[in-house]
A and B are shown apart, each in its own frame.
Chain A
Amino acid sequence: MSAVLDNPIHDEHEHHGPPKGIARWLFTTNHKDIGSMYLWFSFAMFLIGGCMALTIRAELFQPGLQLVEPEFFNQMTTMHGLIMVFGAVMPAFVGLANWLIPMMVGAPDMALPRMNNWSFWILPFAFGLLLSTLFMEGGGPNFGWTFYAPLSTTYAPDTVTYFIFGVHMMGISSIMGAINVVATILNMRAPGMTLMKMPLFVWTWLITAFLLIAVMPVLAGVVTMMLMDVHFGTSFFDAAGGGDPVLFQHVFWFFGHPEVYIMILPAFGVVSQIIPTFSRKPLFGYHSMVYAVASIAILSFIVWAHHMFTVGMPLFGELFFMYATMLIAVPTGVKVFNWVTTMFRGSLTFEAPMLFSIAFVILFTIGGFSGLMLAIAPSDFQYHDTYFVVAHFHYVLVPGAIFGIFAAVYYWLPKWCGNMYSETLAKWHFWMSFVGMNLAFFPMHFLGLAGMPRRIPDYALQFADFNSISSVGAFTFGATQLLFLYLVIQAIRSGKPATDQVWEGAEGLEWTIPSPAPYHTFSTPPEIK
């Protein structure tokens, strides 16, 4: 049972180590422990979701049905998306937030440490529930990660009920996590740490948390509507009762578009920390970076219907959502410009965090450009639901969100565990990931433009070559992640001890404390000049 560890007025718990055994992890209120649990959990989900992706790519290696039934293929595409979005990317960023935000703003912990523990421990149960549907009668969710009605209502397997409750649990976890982040950033900054002195990672997370609190309840609303339609006879998504299946898409994407920025904004923050360090120059245009992130977040609320250009909207809707979407290119362009300008005439070195960050800037920009192509409503009629869309969002999520997470892990791992990772292995990891990922996703652009539809287990013969290349790339990328696992464990176990500063050019409060970071940091707030 919890009690006051020691006199909170003094700094004695600086020397207080963590309790031993499983109890440490189940009952913890320590932001570093919780951050580590989030990161390990998200990596486990990344591997599970990755195996599903490899099942998909194995089936698509050549035309015809080889390995799996179409029904199971649909379950794989659905679960791969859900697991990667809600289980891998989002918890990884929450883990980074837990580890870094208190250290960056000079706080002793997150604002509400017990709720922080609850936010994490909901997740293993939620994903246990979601994954268990694969073994139930009728199979798991098979309607795509976007679960459009009526496929997810009238025609759904019985397990949709478990899916709905699983999503509710993830939503509760995310909302509480986000409230904690906002309260920490707004209330726990050390004296002198004004808002415009905060590191950009903190800024991007503040805005991300706002987006989470705003849209996760809308997701809860839409799955509740599904539940009512499936089991209680309502007609939200049934035109026979005066509802509309298109209503589902509107509500879903009102959640869904801010959601995709939830998955990228913290990565913007990460590379905005890393690029200045390895350029040995301050970040170019700090203020414009903050305003750009805020603009992107605000715009994300008024662009949702660009996911549904072909659904039959009035012309005015098509035009409004097209132009609003294109506007997002402006703040995004500001960010890319600032990252490049930060590197311009800097004293660059290319350690693993920097390699991943540079790849992020280049490849995310490619994903951004294909996004602009998709934003053009008349052309989207051609691309819609093809592999071009798959290529687009994998370019923003894999070298965007995931490379951002890799960069962050390499950059801060020495601070977390006190040891350096092997730079040689990390470079292998980078180059194999880089090559594998481009091999997997670049051909998908061509497949999509040539008309190959997404979420299909079989395809016409003319798509065979690009598909086999793509599968080779996917397996390369997937296998490389085992190397990442190995090198992280190796660093924790037997890496060379890191200095407190770790990186020559690194700035920020987290580099002023010892490596590894003590169990409790900043029990007395530091003074920021």
Chain B
Amino acid sequence: MSAESSYYVPAQSRWPIIASIGLFMTAVGAANIINAGSANESTGMSWLVFLTGAFMMAYMLFGWFGHVISESREGLYSAQMDRSFRWGMSWFIFSEVMFFAAFFGALFYVRVLSVPWLGGEGANASTGELLWPGFEATWPLMANPNPELYPGPKALIDPWHLPLLNTVLLVASSVTVTFAHHALKEGKRNALKMWLIATIVLGCVFLFFQGEEYVEAYNDLDLTLESGIYGTTFFLLTGFHGAHVTLGTLMLIIMYFRIRKGHFDKDNHFAFEATSWYWHFVDVVWLGLFFMVYIL
């Protein structure tokens, strides 16, 4: 840390308040849609609020990031500013890790404790006898304690088909994004674009297969959100992961367009690095999912 140049303190900005209003409208709209949907009421107005909010958020993201990019390209940022961004992104990813940790924690809890207890194991033996005496604890849980309320799935996704393929795809994409990074550092722009496109394609194919898998789960296997705790944890964990892959892919696409415009050089490309950090993070989460949700 040195006083080599002073830290850039931005002047007033209208983006945060636009972001707040946009976030508020998105949240209110979404809550209205969900509530009206559950009550079978019309959701037209709520969609209007939701989409207006979402549009504001998109406008804000383009505007705000665009502003930061132009400041960065004007050379207003010092090395110290760069470190602020690095700390910011690292801790943001840590917060995402903790978000997934909550869902993994729920998965471990039901597998190790609550499902066996419902089956009459351990100190809570009477739970099984009093509630559903016929219930047998297994994992994956194919027959739920109350099958009328929560009919179990007929079958599960075979981990050695699409999920294995998806694992290969995502791990490969982590490698290609690293190749892209090396190409960027060596100034090989064409190789950079090629590896980046490869990463984006791998991400999109992953998402396509994930969608395929969901269709199969719903149409053929009766594995749904409503099919008890297995479906619950399966869809929430893979679903949030898929949402993060989608976001990561969008970030990569934006990086591609920025590179096409000639942004980044071998010393100054934190946005690209942050995106690749994020991409490695979703990759690691997937490995956790592949082992904990699909295989074991």
- Which residues of A line the B interface, CB within 8 A? 1-5, 8-9, 11, 13, 19, 23-24, 26-29, 107-109, 111-115, 117-118, 121-122, 125-126, 128-129, 158, 161-162, 164-166, 168-169, 172, 175, 178-180, 182-183, 186-189, 191, 213-218, 220-222, 224-225, 227-228, 230-236, 238-244, 246-247, 250-251, 254, 312, 314-315, 520, 523-525
CA distance A523 to B12 in the complex (A): 17
CA distance A114 to B67 in the complex (A): 11
CA distance A164 to B27 in the complex (A): 10
Task: State whether B23 touches A122 (Cβ < 8 A).
Answer: yes
Stretch at the interface among B108-116, B194-202, B206-214: B108-116
Asked if B190 CB lies within 8 Å of chain A CBs, one says: no
Specify which of B64, B105, B110, B123 is in contact with A244 (CB 8 Å cutoff). Answer: B110
Asked if B296 CB lies within 8 Å of chain A CBs, one says: no
CA distance A122 to B16 in the complex (A): 9
How close is B62's CB to chain A, nearest CB, in angstroms? 15
Task: State whether A108 touches B9 (Cβ < 8 A).
Answer: yes
How close is B128's CB to chain A, nearest CB, in angstroms? 11
Q: From residue 115 to 153 of chain B, which have CB atoms closer than 8 A to chain A?
A: 115, 117-118, 122-124, 131, 141, 144-146, 149-150
Asked if B169 CB lies within 8 Å of chain A CBs, one says: no
Task: State whether B98 touches A225 (Cβ < 8 A).
Answer: no
Chain B residues, Cβ within 8 Å of A233: 224-226
Task: State whether B236 touches A191 (Cβ < 8 A).
Answer: no
Using an 8 Å CB-CB cutoff, how does the interface string of B39-77 with A read, 1 for contact, 0 for none? 100000000000000000000000010010000000010
Q: From residue 1 to 56 of chain B, which have CB atoms closer than 8 A to chain A?
A: 1-3, 5-17, 19-21, 23-24, 27-28, 30-31, 34-35, 37-39
Using an 8 Å CB-CB cutoff, how does the interface string of B81-124 with A read, 1 for contact, 0 for none? 00110011001101110110111011001100111011000111
CA distance A159 to B274 in the complex (A): 38
Asked if B268 CB lies within 8 Å of chain A CBs, one says: no
Chain B residues, Cβ within 8 Å of A129: 24, 27-28
Task: State whether A217 touches B146 (Cβ < 8 A).
Answer: no
Chain A residues, Cβ within 8 Å of B149: 238, 240-241
Which 3 residue pairs of A and B lie closest in terms of their CB atoms, listed nearest first? A221-B102, A242-B229, A240-B146
Closest to B21 in A: A125
9 extra A-B contacts, CB within 8 A, seeds A8-B6, A314-B124: A2-B10, A27-B13, A29-B10, A114-B13, A114-B16, A128-B24, A188-B7, A230-B38, A314-B122
Task: State whether A243 touches B229 (Cβ < 8 A).
Answer: yes
Q: List 13 A-B contacts (CB under 8 A).
A: A2-B14, A2-B67, A117-B16, A118-B20, A182-B87, A222-B102, A225-B102, A235-B232, A240-B149, A241-B145, A242-B110, A251-B106, A314-B124
Chain B residues, Cβ within 8 Å of A162: 28, 31
Known contacts: A182-B87, A214-B94, A241-B229. The answer to whether A314 contacts B17 by CB under 8 A is no
Chain B residues, Cβ within 8 Å of A244: 109-110, 113-114, 117-118
Using an 8 Å CB-CB cutoff, how does the interface string of B232-271 with A read, 1 for contact, 0 for none? 1001100000000000000000000000000000000000
CA distance A315 to B124 in the complex (A): 11
Task: State whether B31 touches A161 (Cβ < 8 A).
Answer: yes
CA distance A251 to B146 in the complex (A): 24
Specify which of B88, B91, B131, B232 is in contact with A239 (CB 8 Å cutoff). Answer: B131
Task: State whether A234 touches B27 (Cβ < 8 A).
Answer: no
CA distance A8 to B71 in the complex (A): 12
Asked if B230 CB lies within 8 Å of chain A CBs, one says: yes
Closest to B235 in A: A234
Task: State whether B106 touches A236 (Cβ < 8 A).
Answer: yes
CA distance A224 to B117 in the complex (A): 25
Task: State whether B13 touches A117 (Cβ < 8 A).
Answer: yes
Specify which of B11, B99, B229 is in contact with A4 (CB 8 Å cutoff). Answer: B11
CA distance A235 to B115 in the complex (A): 12
CA distance A182 to B102 in the complex (A): 23
